[in-house]
Amino acid sequence: MTDDTFTTPREPQLIALNVNGEQHEVITEARRTLVDVLRHELRLTGTHVGCEHGICGACTVLVDDRPVRACLMFAAQAEGARIRTVESLADGSRLSDLQRAFSEHHALQCGFCTPGFLMLAEGFLAERPEATKEEIREVVAANMCRCTGYQTIVEAIDACATARRRACAQACHSKEN
């Protein structure tokens, strides 16, 4: 803890969080991590915890569109930012193309790592829609999965990226005509 606002880590404080487009106010100890507050205060339990020390990536969420390890961040540090979790991906009961790609490619078995990979990919593809399969593999290497051997995760993200590019090209094409 380097930030000196956290000198009294057990002191409850009121923080405001913007999660999946909704504004929340939470009274919580300063020492509570973002992932704990998301999971246990806001009951958004889709984001998982695999290590609490920043390696496994199960807790990956988007903070201002960037994939972030929510176990390495205090909730208070996320005030004022836009936070997105796995719960935001589907549109009602309609799964997003990325979620569907994970299912179609069997990119999940137990599904514990899945929310982390989904948010990692969601953030990455938004920033680099033209990503190659090799670049995707590099990014996938940031998180851990114990079940799949990663191949199908890479394939799912690649397939989603390819389909998005194709759809985009078609849209541009039909606009031109």
Binding site residues, another protein, CB under 8 A? 10, 29, 31-32, 39-40, 43-53, 55-56, 58, 85-87, 89-90, 95, 99, 102-104, 106, 108-115, 118, 137-138, 140-154
DSSP code at position 3? -
Residue among 147 and 163 whose Cβ is closer to ligand FES: 147
The end-to-end CA distance of the chain, in Å, is 57
- Torsion sign, CA atoms 88, 91, 92, 95: negative
Nearest distance in Å: CB 176, another protein: 35
Residue among 6 and 112 whose Cβ is closer to ligand FES: 112
Q: At what angle do helices 133-140 and 114-127 cross, to 10 degrees?
A: 140
Residues in touch with ligand FES (CB under 6 A): 49-52, 54-59, 69, 71, 108-113, 145-148
Residue 59 contact partner, candidates another protein, ligand FES, none, CB within 5 to 8 A by sort of partner: ligand FES
Residue 86 contact partner, candidates ligand FES, another protein, none, CB within 5 to 8 A by sort of partner: another protein
- Tokens at 14, concatenated: 């009121």
- Tokens at 162, concatenated: 């390819």
Residue among 125 and 140 whose Cβ is closer to ligand FES: 140
Residue among 146 and 169 whose Cβ is closer to another protein: 146
DSSP β-bridge partners for residue 67: 62
Query: Distance of CA 119 to CAs 5, 48, 158, 177, Å?
Result: 29, 12, 15, 35
